[in-house]
C-alpha cells in the first residue's frame, strides 16, 4: 500500500474538503418504488429479481465504495451533491436502487473534518459507557436515536455496531466498544443494531474480527486458536448478529491467524456465511483491502476504496472474472446481499433531509450518560447533599465540559461549540489529532444543584496551588481525564500529565477528596486508598456534565457496572508490553492471544489475581440483597433457567445488576458470565428474576461445533465477577449444538 499513516482520515486536508451542505440533496434512486413488504415479495426474492435485471457494469459499481471527501492523492470522483461523509456507493436509479450513503457511527453522527459546515449531532456517551449500563433497552434507544438522526441527515447506512472485545486495557478504541465479555458485548451490540435498523437504516457490526489494538493496526496479526476464537470474539459477534440482524459486517484492518481479516476465507466464508448463515454483505474497513482475491475470500464490497493502494474490485476483479477465477454467481451473490439488506428494512429510495429534534434526543444522551456512570468507591461521602459548604473543583476542564474520544467515531455535539486542546500530531484532522472537549460544564451543573455551597475552581495546572486551595475547602472534587482514540494506544494505564500527583496532593491536603474519571479505559489509581469516592464517567457525551453532577448530588442513583476489569497494574494482564508499540509503521507484528478465551475477568479468575476493580462492580446509594439463588428449570439442558430474588433494602429507589457466572464444571474451576439483568427496584421492593441460559455459554467449541459436556455445573450469582454469592449445582446430560 502506498500510504499507511495511522488512519485514513489523517490524510484529509481540511482545505481540500468539500463543504457541501446536505440540505435538499437526493441520491440515486427513483422515488415511489414499490417496497418489498408492500408487494408481498420477501427481501431475498426482490433482491434476486432486481439483481437479475442489472448489467455487469451496474453490478460491479456496487462492489466499490468511496469516501466522498477530496484529499490529496485521491483519484475518486465525487458525484455532485454527495455530502462529505465516510462512505458512498452509487445506486442504480433505473432499477430504483438507492445510493448507499454511509456515516459513522455508534456514538452519534460524525462529521469528518467538520466538512459539512455547521452540521452537528447528538453526541452520545462512549459505547463503553453504554456497556456499563448493562441495559439492553437503553442500547436499543441509543441505537434508534443515532439512526434516526442518520436518516434525517439523508444517510441510509450507519457504520455503528463497534464491538471488538476489550482484550487489552491499552487499546485506544476500547471506548468505542462494549467491554470484555462476549455475552454483554453481543447482547448490547445486537440491541443497539436492532434499534438502529428499526429506523430504516442499515447498521454494520464491526470490526470483524479481533481488532484488539490500534498499534500497527494494518500489520498486527491476531493469533489465536480456533476454539478460543469461537468462544470469545466470535461468540460476541454471533450473538450480536443473531439479535440485531445487521445488514452489513465490516471486516477489520488487522490479520487473523496470518490472513488479512478482509481477505480471510475462514472468517468470512466459513464462519460468517456458512456456519452462521449470514445473509447481509461484508464491507471492508477503509483502507483494509490489498488484493482482488479478497472477493472470493468473502469480502463483498471494497469500501472507502481510495484509501487502498488501488481500486481492487474494479479492473483487477474484472480480470479475475474474465479469467474464470471469480464466478458470475459470486458477483450476483455479493450484489444480492446488499440489496436484500436494504429491502429487509424497506429502504427503496433516498432519504430526504428532515428536521431533527435535538433537545429531545439530548434527553436520550443524558439518560445514557447517567446510566453509564460507575460508582467505584464511596465511603459515605456521596451523595453530596446540601451539607457541603465550600467545594473546590479541580482539573479536567470541568469548568468547560467533558472529554471525548478521538477518531472516526467523534461527534460534533449539538449543545454548543466544542473546545480543542493539545494536538501533538502533524495532522489536519482534529478528530484524530486533538482532544475535543464537549461543552456542558460539570462545574456549572454542580453549582446549579447545590446553590447554597461556595464553589471555587482550579485548573489543576499547578498541583501545589490546587492543594493550597484544597486545604481551605470542605470538599474537593477532582476531575481526571485521559484522552484516547482511534489509531493509537496507550503505553501505560497511568493518568497522563501529572494527574496522579495532583490527586495525591489534593488528597493529602483535604481528606474529603472525590475523584471523577473521564477515561476511555481502565486506569491505575495509586491514590485510591486516600480518596473517599471514585466515579468512573468514561467519555460521557454532550450531556455528561449534567449526568456527573446528578450522580454526585444524588439526583440520580448510580447503577453502572464495570464492563471491563480494572487491573492493579499491567503485570496482572496477559501481555506486559503492548505488541509493536514504538515500532515504525508497516512493521509486521504478532499479537499472540495466548490467554485464549480466558481474557478479562476470566484471566483474573484463572490466575487467582485480585483486580483493582472487578468486571461487574459498581456501587449504589441504596443496598441490594440477593436470596434464593438456584436452578429454576433444567428441562433437557437447552432450557436451563437460573433464578434469584433481589431486594432493595435501602430507603432509595435504585437499579441492581445481578450477574450469574458459571464457576466450575465437574469440579474444575472456570468463570463465565452466563446471564445478567438490570432491575429497577423501589425502596423495600423485592423481585424474583429468572434468566434463561444460552447453552453456548456452558459449552466448549470443538470438532466444528459446540459441545456441552455432561456433568455437574456450578453457578453463583454475584454483584461482580469477584463478589459472588453461594454456589449451586445442576447436573446436565450433555449435548452438541450447531456451530
Residues in the site for ligand BGC, rule: CB under 6 A?
A: 7-8, 86, 104-105, 159, 206, 285-286, 304, 408
Of 8 and 540, the one with the shorter C-beta distance to ligand BGC is: 8
Residues 6+ apart with CB under 8 A from 652: 557, 621, 622, 683
Of 253 and 479, the one with the shorter C-beta distance to ligand BGC is: 253
Write down the least CB distance from residue 221 to ligand BGC, Å: 17
DSSP strand pairing (248-251 vs 202-208): parallel
DSSP state of 18: -
The distance of Cα 231 from the centroid of its chain, to the nearest Å, equals 19
Q: Exposed/middle/buried for 423, CB within 10 Å: 0-12, 13-18, 19+? A: middle
Write down the least CB distance from residue 104 to ligand BGC, Å: 5
Of 46 and 217, the one with the shorter C-beta distance to ligand BGC is: 217
Report how far residue 662's alpha carbon sits from residue 682's, in angstroms, rounded to the nearest whole number.
29
Write down the least CB distance from residue 206 to ligand BGC, Å: 6
Q: Exposed/middle/buried for 378, CB within 10 Å: 0-12, 13-18, 19+? A: middle
Of 104 and 484, the one with the shorter C-beta distance to ligand BGC is: 104
Write down the least CB distance from residue 506 to ligand BGC, Å: 38
What one-character-per-residue DSSP string does 299-351 give? --BBTTGGGSSS-TTTHHHHHHHHTTSS-HHHHHHHHHHHHHHHHHTT--SPP
Write down the least CB distance from residue 160 to ligand BGC, Å: 9
Of 105 and 693, the one with the shorter C-beta distance to ligand BGC is: 105
DSSP strand pairing (679-681 vs 654-656): antiparallel
437 pairs with which residues across the strands? Answer: 403, 419
735 pairs with which residues across the strands? Answer: 708
Write down the least CB distance from residue 405 to ligand BGC, Å: 12
Write down the least CB distance from residue 157 to ligand BGC, Å: 10
Write down the least CB distance from residue 516 to ligand BGC, Å: 28
Q: Are 99 and 29 in contact (CB under 8 A)?
A: yes
Q: Are 489 and 578 in contact (CB under 8 A)?
A: yes
Query: Three-state secondary structure along 426-464?
Result: CCCCHHHHCEEEEECCHHHHHHHHCCCCEEEEECCCCHH
Of 177 and 706, the one with the shorter C-beta distance to ligand BGC is: 177
Report how far residue 681's alpha carbon sits from residue 647's, in angstroms, rounded to the nearest whole number.
8
Three cell numbers, residue 702? 470443538
Of 127 and 512, the one with the shorter C-beta distance to ligand BGC is: 127
Residue with cell 493529602: 508
Q: Are 161 and 192 in contact (CB under 8 A)?
A: yes
Report how far residue 204's alpha carbon sits from residue 468's, in angstroms, rounded to the nearest whole number.
51
Write down the least CB distance from residue 11 to ligand BGC, Å: 11
Write down the least CB distance from residue 304 to ligand BGC, Å: 6
Of 12 and 366, the one with the shorter C-beta distance to ligand BGC is: 12
Amino acid at each position: 500500500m502506498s500510504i499507511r499513516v495511522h488512519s485514513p482520515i489523517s490524510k484529509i486536508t481540511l482545505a481540500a474538503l468539500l463543504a457541501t451542505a446536505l440540505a435538499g440533496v437526493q441520491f440515486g434512486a427513483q422515488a415511489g418504488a414499490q417496497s418489498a413488504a408492500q408487494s408481498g415479495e420477501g427481501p431475498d426474492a426482490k433482491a434476486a429479481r432486481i439483481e437479475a435485471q442489472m448489467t455487469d457494469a451496474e453490478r460491479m459499481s456496487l462492489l466499490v465504495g468511496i469516501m466522498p471527501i477530496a484529499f490529496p492523492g485521491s483519484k475518486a470522483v465525487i458525484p455532485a451533491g454527495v455530502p462529505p461523509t465516510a462512505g458512498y456507493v452509487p445506486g442504480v436509479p433505473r432499477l430504483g436502487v438507492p445510493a448507499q450513503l454511509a456515516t459513522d457511527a455508534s456514538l452519534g453522527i460524525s462529521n469528518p473534518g467538520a466538512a459539512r459546515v455547521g452540521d452537528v449531532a447528538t453526541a452520545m456517551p462512549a459505547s463503553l459507557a453504554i456497556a456499563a449500563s448493562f441495559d439492553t433497552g437503553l442500547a436499543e434507544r441509543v441505537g434508534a436515536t443515532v439512526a434516526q438522526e442518520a436518516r434525517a441527515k439523508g444517510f441510509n447506512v450507519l457504520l455503528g455496531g463497534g464491538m471488538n472485545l476489550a482484550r487489552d486495557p491499552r487499546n485506544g478504541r476500547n471506548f468505542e466498544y462494549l467491554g470484555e465479555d462476549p455475552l454483554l458485548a453481543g447482547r448490547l451490540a445486537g440491541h443497539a443494531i436492532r434499534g438502529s435498523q428499526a429506523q430504516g437504516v442499515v447498521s454494520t457490526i464491526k470490526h470483524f474480527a479481533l481488532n484488539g489494538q490500534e498499534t500497527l493496526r494494518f500489520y498486527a496479526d491476531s493469533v489465536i486458536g480456533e476454539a478460543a476464537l469461537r468462544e470469545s470474539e466470535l461468540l460476541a459477534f454471533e450473538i450480536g448478529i443473531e439479535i440485531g440482524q445487521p445488514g452489513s459486517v465490516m471486516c477489520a484492518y488487522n490479520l487473523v491467524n496470518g490472513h488479512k481479516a478482509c481477505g480471510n476465507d475462514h472468517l468470512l466464508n466459513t464462519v460468517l456465511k456458512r456456519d452462521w448463515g449470514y445473509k447481509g454483505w461484508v464491507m471492508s474497513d477503509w483502507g483494509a483491502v490489498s488484493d482482488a482475491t479478497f472477493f472470493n475470500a468473502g469480502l463483498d464490497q471494497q469500501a472507502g476504496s481510495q484509501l487502498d493502494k488501488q481500486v481492487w474490485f474494479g479492473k483487477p476483479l474484472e480480470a479475475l472474472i474474465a479469467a474464470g477465477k471469480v464466478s458470475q454467481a459470486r458477483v450476483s451473490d455479493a450484489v444480492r446481499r446488499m440489496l436484500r439488506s436494504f429491502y429487509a428494512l424497506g429502504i427503496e429510495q433516498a432519504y430526504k433531509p428532515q428536521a431533527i429534534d435535538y433537545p429531545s434526543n439530548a434527553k436520550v444522551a443524558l439518560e445514557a450518560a447517567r446510566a453509564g456512570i460507575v460508582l467505584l468507591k464511596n465511603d459515605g461521602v456521596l451523595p453530596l447533599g446540601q451539607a457541603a459548604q465550600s467545594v473546590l473543583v479541580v482539573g479536567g476542564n470541568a469548568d468547560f465540559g467533558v472529554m471525548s474520544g478521538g477518531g472516526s467515531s467523534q461527534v460534533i455535539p449539538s449543545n454548543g461549540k466544542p473546545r480543542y486542546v493539545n494536538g501533538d500530531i502533524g495532522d489536519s484532522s482534529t478528530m484524530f489529532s486533538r482532544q475535543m472537549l464537549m461543552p456542558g460544564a460539570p462545574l456549572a451543573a454542580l453549582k446549579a444543584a447545590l446553590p447554597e455551597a461556595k464553589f471555587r475552581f482550579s485548573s489543576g495546572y499547578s498541583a501545589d496551588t490546587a492543594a493550597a486551595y484544597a486545604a481551605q475547602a470542605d470538599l474537593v472534587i477532582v476531575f481526571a481525564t485521559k484522552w484516547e482514540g482511534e489509531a493509537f494506544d496507550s503505553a501505560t494505564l497511568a493518568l497522563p500529565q501529572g494527574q496522579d500527583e495532583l490527586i495525591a496532593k489534593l488528597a493529602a491536603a483535604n481528606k474529603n477528596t472525590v475523584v471523577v474519571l473521564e477515561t476511555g479505559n481502565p486506569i491505575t489509581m495509586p491514590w485510591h486508598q486516600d480518596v473517599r469516592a471514585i466515579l468512573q464517567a468514561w467519555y460521557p457525551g454532550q450531556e455528561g456534565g449534567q449526568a456527573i453532577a446528578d450522580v454526585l448530588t444524588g439526583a440520580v442513583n448510580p447503577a453502572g457496572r464495570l464492563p471491563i476489569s480494572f487491573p492493579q497494574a499491567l503485570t496482572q494482564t496477559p501481555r506486559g508490553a503492548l505488541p509493536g508499540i514504538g515500532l515504525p509503521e508497516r512493521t509486521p507484528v504478532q499479537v499472540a492471544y495466548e490467554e485464549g478465551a480466558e481474557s478479562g475477568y476470566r484471566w483474573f479468575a484463572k490466575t487467582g489475581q485480585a483486580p483493582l476493580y472487578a468486571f461487574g462492580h459498581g456501587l449504589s446509594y441504596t443496598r441490594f440483597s440477593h436470596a434464593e439463588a438456584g436452578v429454576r428449570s433444567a428441562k433437557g439442558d437447552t432450557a436451563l433457567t437460573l433464578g434469584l430474588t433481589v431486594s432493595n433494602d435501602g430507603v432509595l429507589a435504585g437499579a441492581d445488576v445481578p450477574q450469574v457466572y458459571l464457576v466450575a464444571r465437574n469440579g474444575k474451576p472456570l468463570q463465565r458470565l452466563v446471564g445478567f439483568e438490570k432491575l429497577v427496584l423501589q425502596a423495600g421492593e423485592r423481585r424474583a428474576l429468572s434468566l434463561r441460559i444460552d447453552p453456548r455459554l456452558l459449552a466448549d467449541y470443538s470438532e466444528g461445533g459446540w459441545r456441552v459436556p455432561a456433568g455437574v455445573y456450578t453457578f453463583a450469582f454475584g454483584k461482580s465477577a469477584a463478589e459472588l454469592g453461594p454456589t449451586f449445582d445442576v447436573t446436565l446430560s450433555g449435548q452438541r449444538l450447531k456451530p
